[in-house]
Amino acid sequence: MSADDLVPPSSVVLVSGGSRGLGLEIVGDLLGRGVAVAAFARTVTPELDALARKHTGRALVGPVDVTDREAVASFVRTVERELGVVDGLVNNAAVGQDSLHVHTSPDRVASIVTTNLTAPLLLTRLVVRRLLAAGRRGRIVNVTSICAQRGFPGLVTYAATKGAMEAATRALARELRDRVLVNCVAPGFFASEMSAVLGSTQLDQIVRRTPTGHLTEPDEVAPLVRMLLLEHTNVQGQVLTTDGGASI
Amino acid sequence: MATLDRSRIRDLMGEVLAARGGTLPADESTELRSLGFRSLDFSELALRVEDETGTELNFDAPGLRRIATVGDVLDFLQDLQAA
Ligand SMILES: NC(=O)c1ccc[n+]([C@@H]2O[C@H](COP(=O)([O-])OP(=O)(O)OC[C@H]3O[C@@H](n4cnc5c(N)ncnc54)[C@H](OP(=O)(O)O)[C@@H]3O)[C@@H](O)[C@H]2O)c1
């Protein structure tokens, strides 16, 4: 098989939810490898802004709500103009949940589904349409969660969205075949604004059940995302779990 | 919006406990653990309050984790109705 037959490493990567937590880590990691990176979140944090300034010409950041279709489409057009066609997408933006299903309002259920499932499906559709129209190949990494595979109380709708993204990943991989590699990275719980709602007793419990004895850190997840975006591995339609073995 | 007062919530809590073969002690500092009052019992109580007031009471789990005594349950449900 010649290199021309393989999906090339991504050269322009779009990261949703790149302002903090895992998204920020992924943006920093990819910029550090010489990749051009565009990132958005509803609010651009000073940390993300600083990264963009450090890598002027190769980084583009902006305040965009992933559920706002117009704003997302306009940002993608700007990225194309300034950095080139997006050939790598990391669907990372998501909102968490910590409420029993019976006590979660219908509006909250709908809004979690909109942000964590509808929005990444539409962003993926947009990016793949641009890629195919340009006759290019690309790679997509969906950040899901261990919650897609294992049951945790208080996370019913969140888990449903992450499980749906894993299912969509497999279907997309079949559709897009050798043109776009589509995979998931499923982290276990890690410390971030999203998991701050977990009580210390719950976190201790998770650590006790984790063979490696520690919660996954964002800088342990970023290398997996990078590998799926930049290396030749022939991995397609898969979920890579990084949870210290807690789920085995 | 209709709200239930503390004594009515207390009655309902007593009914939830009675259905499990328990009784609600007068002392509000009694630990829920000693009564076998678990998180789904709390859900049942909250839903009974909803039924009587006709208003949904939705809430996140972190608040629930701070509830340890009978008095905490009554405070939580009163505060929730006032919110
Ligand atoms: N933390 C964990 O334990 C854990 C475990 C497994 C998987 N994950 C997954 O890892 C990913 C990152 O999570 P994290 O823990 O780093 O979360 P986080 O710290 O809360 O960061 C979430 C990011 O998404 C952005 N975002 C949220 N809603 C958005 C919207 N409507 N439009 C645009 N951006 C939005 C946030 O920025 P704004 O709020 O400014 O928009 C932020 O940049 C998520 O997909 C999450 O489900 C997390």
CB A167 within 8 A of CB A122: no
Beta-carbon separation of B61 and A154 below 8 A: yes
Which among B47, B60, B65 has the least Cβ separation from residue A102?
A: B47
- Quick check: B19 contacting A, CB < 8 Å? no
**Residue B2's pLDDT band (cuts 50, 70, 90):** confident
Beta-carbon separation of A105 and B61 below 8 A: no
**Residue A195's pLDDT band (cuts 50, 70, 90):** confident
- Of the residues A48, A116, A194, which should be mutated to test ligand 1's pocket, given the most ligand atoms within 8 Å of the CB? A194
Q: Provide the percentage of residues in chain A whose pLDDT is more than 70.
A: 100
- The 8-class DSSP code of residue B5 comes to -
CA of A225 from ligand 1 middle (Å) equals 15
Domains and CATH numbers, chain B: 6-82 (1.10.1200.10)
The rounded distance, in Å, linking the Cα atoms of A89 and A112 is 21
CB of A158 closer than 6 angstroms to any ligand 1 atom: no
Does the pLDDT value for residue B1 go beyond 80? Answer: no
Per residue, the 3-state secondary structure of chain A, as one string, reads CCHHHCCCCCCEEEEECCCCHHHHHHHHHHHHCCCEEEEEECCCCHHHHHHHHHCECCEEEEECCCCCHHHHHHHHHHHHHHCCCCCEEEECCCCCCCCCHHHCCHHHHHHHHHHHHHHHHHHHHHHHHHHHHCCCCEEEEEECCHHHCCCCCCCHHHHHHHHHHHHHHHHHHHHHCCCEEEEEEEECCCCCCCHHHCCHHHHHHHHHCCCCCCCCCHHHHHHHHHHHHHCCCCCCCCEEEECCCCCC
pTM of the model: 0.94
Which among A98, A103, A105 has the least Cβ separation from residue B43?
A: A103
| Neighbouring C-alpha atoms within 13 Å toward the C-beta of A160 | 13
The rounded distance, in Å, linking the Cα atoms of B24 and B62 is 25
Decide if the complex's ipTM is over 0.90.
Answer: no
Atom of ligand 1 nearest to the CA of A42: 41
* Mean pLDDT in residue range B18-31: 95
Work out the minimum CA distance from B28 to partner chain A, whole angstroms.
Answer: 25
* Mean pLDDT in residue range B16-43: 95
**Residue B83's pLDDT band (cuts 50, 70, 90):** confident
CA-CA-CA-CA dihedral for A150, A156, A159, A163, to nearest 10: 90
CA of B31 from ligand 1 middle (Å) equals 37
CB A139 within 8 A of CB A87: yes
Q: Calculate the alpha carbon distances from A132 to A176, A178, A180, A231, A238 in Å.
A: 10, 12, 9, 21, 22
Q: Which of A21, A112, A70, A72 is nearest to A62 (CA)?
A: A72
CB A49 within 8 A of CB A40: no
CB A26 within 8 A of CB A225: yes
CB of A185 closer than 6 angstroms to any ligand 1 atom: no
CB A194 within 8 A of CB A19: no
Beta-carbon separation of A105 and B58 below 8 A: yes
Say what angle helices B70-82 and B39-53 make with each other, to 10 degrees.
Answer: 40
Does the pLDDT value for residue A170 go beyond 90? Answer: yes
The domain limits of chain A are: 10-242
- Quick check: B65 contacting A, CB < 8 Å? yes
Of A103, A155, A193, A198, which to mutate for an interface test with B (greatest number of B Cβ within 10 Å)? A103
- Quick check: B55 contacting A, CB < 8 Å? no
**Residue A205's pLDDT band (cuts 50, 70, 90):** confident
Q: Which residue of A has its CA nearest to B80?
A: A103
The strand order across the sheet containing A12-16 reads A59-63, A36-41, A12-16, A88-91, A138-143, A180-187, A239-242
**Residue A198's pLDDT band (cuts 50, 70, 90):** confident
CA of A100 from ligand 1 middle (Å) equals 20
- The 8-class DSSP code of residue B21 comes to T
Which pLDDT score is estimated for A199?
72
The rounded distance, in Å, linking the Cα atoms of A168 and A183 is 10
- Quick check: B56 contacting A, CB < 8 Å? yes
Q: Which residue of B has its CA nearest to A202?
A: B65
Which pLDDT score is estimated for B36?
94
Which pLDDT score is estimated for A200?
75
Which pLDDT score is estimated for B62?
84
Atom of ligand 1 nearest to the CA of A66: 32
CB of A187 closer than 6 angstroms to any ligand 1 atom: yes
- Quick check: B39 contacting A, CB < 8 Å? yes
Asked which of A99-113, A153-167, A196-210 is least confident by mean pLDDT, the reply is A196-210
What architecture is domain A10-242? 3-Layer(aba) Sandwich (3.40)
The rounded distance, in Å, linking the Cα atoms of A94 and A115 is 6
